[in-house]
Structure 1
Amino acid sequence: MKLSDPIKRLLLAGLGAAAVTTEKSKEIVDTLVKKGELTVEEGKTLNQELKIRAQEKAQEKRTDRMADKVSRLTAEERDELRKMLDIADEEEAAAAALLEEPEAEEAEEEVGE
């Protein structure tokens, strides 16, 4: 890789530190490719890494905000939330089971033929 590892690390760290958007980081990488400091393949790889890190950071922020909101709930509100989540889990499991039934029936029909 022509781009030195410290520069690559700086770019990756800059994503979190400077909150560089995925679009902006793509522009930077594209510029490096045009200047010949990265190959097209290295640019694609770096873009993918930056995209993944941005998604991870966004998920981390959402999780932190949600944890903060939950921590502010009263015990009664947390119990109600738990009940709602349990119901949602049950409905999700029931929906998944319904989706699996046709597949099982098709497999049985194929074996019977």
Structure 2
Amino acid sequence: MADFNLGEGLRKVFLAGIGALATGVEKSQEGLEKGQQIIDDLVKKGELTVEQGKALNTELKHKAAAAREAAEAASSEDAKPVVDTTEAKSSAEPAQE
């Protein structure tokens, strides 16, 4: 029969378990680092989105104020009487032929 050393077999199983544990720890740390990187990227994108939203809001406020001022100016001009001076000039001046 073949020589079977129980002590050597247990030693190999024990060392394999330690190796598996060490590999698992390394992989979990890599996973945590990748997970942390993903979270950091999402936070950065979120911050950019908030900043872009604030800038867009400010721009829209300025455009709305400008449109309101233009509308008020147009409505105040509509309230003034408009005098057509072209007909008055042509009837007052003698015809030159």
> Normalised by the shorter chain, which TM-score bucket?
0.3 to 0.5
TM-score between the two structures when normalised by the length of structure 2: 0.39
Higher relative contact order (CA 8 A, sep 6+): 1
For normalisation by structure 1, the TM-score amounts to 0.34
Greater C-alpha radius of gyration: 2
